[in-house]
């Protein structure tokens, strides 16, 4: 049986396929988190209205924070994979190809970032993320607070939830600025 050597280039291409597969899976998972959040919000609001128990709205902030944080972490990893391909993996492959700097590997990784409407799309996406994961549960807290017949423990819990939502919102904005 002939001995087959694996080249560095083959290993780098295999790594590229692997990280792009991870990126693709994370994109699908991340995007589905928005739909899950919408479904959870609708279910909690419907259950609250049916039971006529505003305190049930206190379930929204922790659920939205968990889903929002998971969304944010996946979004950051998606961006990190793109950065790795652009700034590390691609240049190493170009060097192996002996391009002398005249050849760009994985050009799409940089090309799509030069779109003139990218910044406006990122801004709109940030507003959507903030709305889904922070504003909607904050609105639920406002409805809860306006009901006026909650005990001190539930009020304390709701204030803590509001602070956690503010923290998540600041992270969403921070990550959006970094991308």
Domain spans of the chain, in order of start: 8-178
**162-177 pLDDT, tens per residue?**
999 999 999 999 999 8
Q: Of the ranges 37-46, 111-120, 131-140, which one carries the lowest mean pLDDT score?
A: 111-120
CB 94 within 8 A of CB 105: yes
Decide if pLDDT at 2 tops 70. Answer: no
Angle between helices 118-130 and 152-178 (to 10 degrees): 170
Q: Are 52 and 151 a contacting pair, CB within 8 Å? A: no
pLDDT tens-digit map of 53-91: 999 999 999 999 999 999 999 999 999 999 999 999 988
pTM summary value? 0.88
Task: Identify the band that residue 99 occupies on the pLDDT scale cut at 50, 70 and 90.
Answer: low
Whether 110 contacts 89, CB under 8 Å = no
Q: Quick check: 63 and 44 in contact, CB under 8 A?
A: yes
Mean pLDDT of the chain: 91
Choice between 126 and 115, residue whose per-residue pLDDT is larger: 126
């Amino acid at each position: 049986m002939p001995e087959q050597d694996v080249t560095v280039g083959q290993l780098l291409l295999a790594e590229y396929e692997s990280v792009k597969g991870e990126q693709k899976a994370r994109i699908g998972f991340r995007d589905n988190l928005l739909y899950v959040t919408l479904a959870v919000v609708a279910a909690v609001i419907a259950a609250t209205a049916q039971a006529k128990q505003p305190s049930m709205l206190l379930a929204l902030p922790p659920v939205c924070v968990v889903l929002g944080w998971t969304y944010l972490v996946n979004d950051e990893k998606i961006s990190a994979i793109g950065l790795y391909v652009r700034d590390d993996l691609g240049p190493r492959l170009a060097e192996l190809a002996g391009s002398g700097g005249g050849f760009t590997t994985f050009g799409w990784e940089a090309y799509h970032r030069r779109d003139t409407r990218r910044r406006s799309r990122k801004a709109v996406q940030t507003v959507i993320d903030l709305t889904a994961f922070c504003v909607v549960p904050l609105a639920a807290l406002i409805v809860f607070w306006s009901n006026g017949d909650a005990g001190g423990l539930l009020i304390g819990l709701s204030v803590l939830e509001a602070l956690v939502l503010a923290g998540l919102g600041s992270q969403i904005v921070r990550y959006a600025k970094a991308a």
